[in-house]
Structure 1
């Protein structure tokens, strides 16, 4: 039998990460926070080196014809790096998610039950571009007591190698074993990683919808993530049009490559004639290419939006517009074509807002604000490991709470189950402590 040596090597890496992760989970809050601060300091000191490595990645990616949305995700300039380091320090100030007792109950005298939060174990993080995701997730992994195996896209290889080198060197002077943070560098290792359910407890993919679907369809390991970010903004008949304009422009143009940027704008027919020229001018001044349904084309000279456009995540300065005749029609369109990520309504009618927020099926539903707030850092999570659109929790931007599970601890004094069964069974007290 031929044995794949690279597969054996990856198993060894995964086993080392698992062992280091178990020790990490047993460290005190102070020890883990000190390690995170050491990472923040190291990143600051190595900022020039990190940015230089990222510039090399960007230069090579441009030569290979990288798409604009992917290039925007790849680029890690000074401002983005500084914001990411701030997010690292914000994690230090978050409550420790490990060791939280959510149930403390006396089953009977001397027999006590606790439900205690604990680390998952080892996280497998697979991402396209987005080098800042490596920093965010590594920090959250350490805070939550988990080991982490990282696999970045080939377009970000220099950035990732530099970042992991800086992080591992920083950990050498802390109580966290650097083996808790590992980096994979080849595409072949992705398939091998997806088969390591013996060692990997959760896979978190971050990238295009095709990429995330591939991960979801090719592993037995639980996957946390979302495949699509088809977000909507509905401008109601009772919307303040100045507010609507500002929110629309922000939700589309502030960072169009983000998964929480809007891809479809829905407008109530009663305000279409007044609002469409205004919003078209505002959007085109930001170089947004507009598409519209037949009704919209009566007001604007733009290309036609097809059925496929309602299903498309552009991740670029492209926006489809549709006129609807009611709030109910807007909700129906969103629930038909949306990806259950983030959708918003602009209206001064509280009843309409409440109906929208109750009936739209999404992880995030917003009233009179931009969808761009769907973000772990902006939610006060310090950072996020990703955004989940699944129905079971965690849902939406996922921070530390998505990286822990729990165990039941029962302590007795020679208690046996037979005492509580049969004709003379002793009753349980079930008294919360």
Structure 2
């Protein structure tokens, strides 16, 4: 339990961070890039202590927990993090971009120019790579960062923050990063830090996102939770469908764009054993199927120990593990209604050769990203050629879908006159 004194200390740190954000606005793109490159070198030079800190966190978590993979750091992942930091340094600056430029009838020259948001708070669960990612993106966008990680990644985040502080100091940048205490009670002062924090971005489970949205007085951008569907309609290329379903489910089960529910037109439901053959034999995927699909899969040789009869809770669930639900639908109308009811507004795909069905799905599905004949695994800033991302926004204001650097900026109007008065 945090004392009143601890909460006051959080407010003091946020106040210092606001000052750092103002000073950061004076720094050049070259200076910011130098910090990111320095941090990349520090990561590679400190792999051993980073892994030692991460092991302390891993020892506190059951390896069967779906969050275990998210928490895990290894040498390969750390080298990838260093490479990503260098990629962010190579990206064009999103700041100072002229978004609009015109002369008013009264002669005032009016322009709209991209600027930093200011202080951005990131609330996230057991993913220490996020600590690097969000700091780097915020810094590139000229923002100071509040990091509120979970207790699961406590030791990893402390080790990472030490490297961030060193990189900032080594490159003469202000201390533009604050790691809040890992206790849950430390979240409330951040969510209510009006005037000190400009926006909060939660990354994690739906429960985390709901808590932040319900308790924050600071503006919130919702990201993360992904309840993703693939709809295989009557005209689908079944070879494509098998590859898409397998990839969307098995590429990495703990990410938000992984497949959670397969909808299949009743006319092609008999092809389920073929569509799910690799998931069953190679990946040992648990399937929660409606009665019709369950019978088809049993008769088709899907491993019986991996089959379960679906109930209402099987739909609208983000599994984050090698499990999924399967349901037959009688029409595209039923498929669209199911997705819009149970989906989280993240990523949805249809496998179909019917142009009319493709267009209906693109138009009527309410999600940040809607695919035709492609895996939901592509919902990612890098895959969209946006560079790195801060998260996948599932809301409709300010940003939607993969949030690259441009989504971490705001804008200001500049009005230059020659003595005009109104």
After superposition, give the CA deviation of every residue in 1:243-276 in whole Å (9 maximum; x if it has no partner): 2111111111111111111110011111111x21
Q: Which residue of 1 aligns with 2:101?
A: 104
Matches within 5 A, 1:34-53: 34-53=34-53
After superposition, give the CA deviation of every residue in 1:278-317 in whole Å (9 maximum; x if it has no partner): 1333221211111111221231233211122112111111
Matched, 1:314 2:319: yes
Structure 2 CA distance for aligned equivalents of residues 114 and 309 of structure 1: 51
Structure with the greater alpha carbon radius of gyration? 1
After superposition, give the CA deviation of every residue in 1:305-337 in whole Å (9 maximum; x if it has no partner): 112211211111111101112222211211111
Structure 2 CA distance for aligned equivalents of residues 409 and 351 of structure 1: 46
Q: Which residue of 2 aligns with 1:427?
A: none
Q: Which residue of 1 aligns with 2:273?
A: 277
| 1:104 to partner: Cα distance | 1.6
Q: Which residue of 2 aligns with 1:403?
A: 408
Q: Which residue of 2 aligns with 1:156?
A: 153
Cα contact 1:255–1:261 (8 A) shared by 2 = yes
Counterpart of 2:365 (choices 360, 364, 369) is 360
TM-score by length of 1: 0.91
Matched, 1:128 2:133: no
Structure 2 CA distance for aligned equivalents of residues 373 and 413 of structure 1: 50
Cα contact 2:350–2:358 (8 A) shared by 1 = yes
Counterpart of 2:206 (choices 190, 206, 209) is 209
SS of residue matched to 1:41: helix
Over the residues paired in the alignment, what is the CA RMSD in angstroms? Answer: 1.6
SS of residue matched to 2:66: helix
TM-score by length of 2: 0.93
| 1:52 to partner: Cα distance | 1.9
| 1:148 to partner: Cα distance | 0.6
Q: Which residue of 2 aligns with 1:83?
A: 80
Q: Which residue of 2 aligns with 1:259?
A: 256
Matches within 5 A, 1:383-394: 383-394=388-399
Q: Which residue of 2 aligns with 1:26?
A: 26
Structure 2 CA distance for aligned equivalents of residues 37 and 382 of structure 1: 16
| 1:350 to partner: Cα distance | 3.3
| 1:227 to partner: Cα distance | 6.3
Q: Which residue of 2 aligns with 1:423?
A: none
Cα contact 1:43–1:167 (8 A) shared by 2 = no
Structure 2 CA distance for aligned equivalents of residues 268 and 82 of structure 1: 44
